[in-house]
């Protein structure tokens, strides 16, 4: 079977279970591989050496980072895992255990501090200041302030992914209970809870939209469309830049939720369900971070050490 036809079968099997952003990344990687190897190439003739040559091509010709090449390796391995099991193909896996996955240094997880979060929320109220002709600093009030405040608070309160928050509709949120129905990666449904602070922020925002309908976006653009990830990222980064908070990303809100959930007494199994992770590996990163932080706190506050007991 030609590679292009095998890819058709792969997407028929897998497209419905992958998140939209994952699909974009997978299709980009597989397109680059198809361009390199040839769409008409018989899939059974592709070898491990071909994969290695392609990975070298990604590094030298496409100048991709180690992380990007590692992601491509994951995509190709996923494709061959499917091809190995697919009755119409049943070809051997030429990547797993044979072609080494590129390694890269993972960035250290640094949650936002309470001071940073409060500052970002307050920065939602006003735009960048300017100096009037009389030398006075003037700030204009932003008409999306209540929406943007609600977004930040909901991020911190629930650990939602950015694309999950963008896709929410009004009907997905129950204002009486705070329950939010979320469709996560692979269209897997879960629920998260907006507690009183987030519910108050959402109440204020929705009160400004009295004519909104159940199928309208929970967080709407000025044209009443769903926000996209880029718009969301820009509004957060602009707010942060006005008050000097550095290294602002949307995913850091998710990190901050997970870290503080554990520090405030939540358990890892509960966190796994709230974040929508199938495996505990990612959750364990937050567990280790929280434990390390508490150990440092104990060292600083140790009564025995501070009293110099012997």
Q: What is the architecture, at CATH level 2, of domain 114-129+152-300?
A: Orthogonal Bundle (1.10)
**Mean pLDDT score, 240-250:** 91
Summarize pLDDT for 76-96 with one digit per residue, the tens: 999 999 999 999 998 999 999
Q: Is the pTM of this model over 0.85?
A: no
Q: What is the pLDDT of residue 135?
A: 67
Main-chain dihedrals φ then ψ at residue 169, nearest 5 degrees: -110, 160
254 pLDDT above the threshold of 80: yes
pLDDT digit string, tens, across residues 7-65: 999 999 988 887 777 888 899 999 999 999 999 999 999 999 999 999 999 999 998 98
Residue 277 annotated as catalytic: yes
Burial 173-201 (b: 16+ CB within 10 A, else e): beeeebebebbbbeeeeeebebeeebbeb
Query: Mean per-residue pLDDT for 100-104?
Result: 88
Residue 199 annotated in active site: no
∠ CA 99-104-109, nearest 5°, is 140
For residue range 174-205, what is the model confidence (pLDDT) as tens digits?
999 999 999 866 556 889 999 999 999 999 99
- Indicate if the pLDDT at residue 273 is higher than 80: yes
What is the chain's mean pLDDT, rounded? Answer: 87
The catalytically annotated residue of 147, 254, 255, 259 is 254
Domain limits, the chain? 3-85, 114-129+152-300
CATH of domain 3-85: 1.10.150.130
How does 257-292 read in b/e, with b if 16+ C-beta sit within 10 Å? Answer: bbbbbbbeebebeebbebbbeeeeeebeebbebbee
How do residues 194-239 score in pLDDT, each as one tens digit?
Answer: 999 999 999 999 999 999 999 999 999 999 999 999 999 999 999 9
Q: Which of 142-151, 258-267, 289-298 is predicted most confidently? A: 142-151
Catalytic residue among 173, 205, 259, 286: 286
> What's the confidence (pLDDT) of residue 275?
86
Write down the catalytic residue from 147, 161, 199, 242: 161
Collapse the DSSP code of 131 into the 3-class scheme (helix H, G, I; strand E, B; otherwise coil) and give the result.
strand
């Amino acid at each position: 079977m030609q590679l292009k036809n095998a890819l058709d079968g792969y997407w028929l099997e897998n497209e419905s279970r992958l998140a939209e952003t994952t699909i974009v990344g997978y299709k980009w990687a597989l397109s680059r591989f198809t361009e390199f190897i040839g769409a008409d190439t018989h899939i059974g003739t592709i070898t491990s050496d071909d994969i290695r040559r392609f990975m070298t091509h990604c590094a030298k010709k496409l100048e991709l980072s180690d992380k990007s090449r590692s992601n491509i390796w994951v995509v190709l391995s996923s494709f061959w895992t499917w091809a190995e099991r697919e009755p119409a193909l049943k070809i051997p896996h030429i990547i797993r255990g044979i072609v080494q996955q590129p390694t890269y240094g993972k960035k250290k997880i640094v949650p936002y501090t309470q001071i940073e979060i409060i500052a970002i929320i307050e920065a939602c109220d006003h735009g960048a200041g300017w100096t009037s002709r009389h030398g006075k600093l003037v700030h204009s009030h932003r008409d999306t302030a209540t929406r943007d405040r609600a977004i930040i608070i909901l991020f911190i309160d629930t650990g939602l992914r950015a694309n999950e928050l963008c896709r929410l509709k009004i009907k997905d949120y129950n204002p009486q209970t705070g329950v939010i129905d979320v469709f996560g990666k692979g269209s897997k449904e879960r629920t998260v809870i907006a507690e009183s602070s987030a519910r108050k922020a959402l109440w204020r925002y929705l009160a400004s939209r009295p004519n909104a309908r159940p199928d309208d976006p929970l967080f709407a653009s000025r044209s009443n469309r769903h926000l996209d990830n880029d718009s969301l990222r820009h509004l957060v980064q602009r707010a942060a830049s006005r008050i000097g908070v550095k290294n602002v990303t949307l995913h850091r809100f998710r990190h901050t939720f997970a870290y503080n959930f554990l520090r405030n007494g939540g358990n890892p199994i509960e966190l796994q369900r709230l974040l929508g992770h199938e495996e505990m590996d990612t959750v364990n990163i937050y567990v280790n971070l929280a434990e390390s932080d508490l150990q440092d706190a104990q060292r600083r506050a140790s009564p025995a050490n501070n009293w110099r007991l012997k």
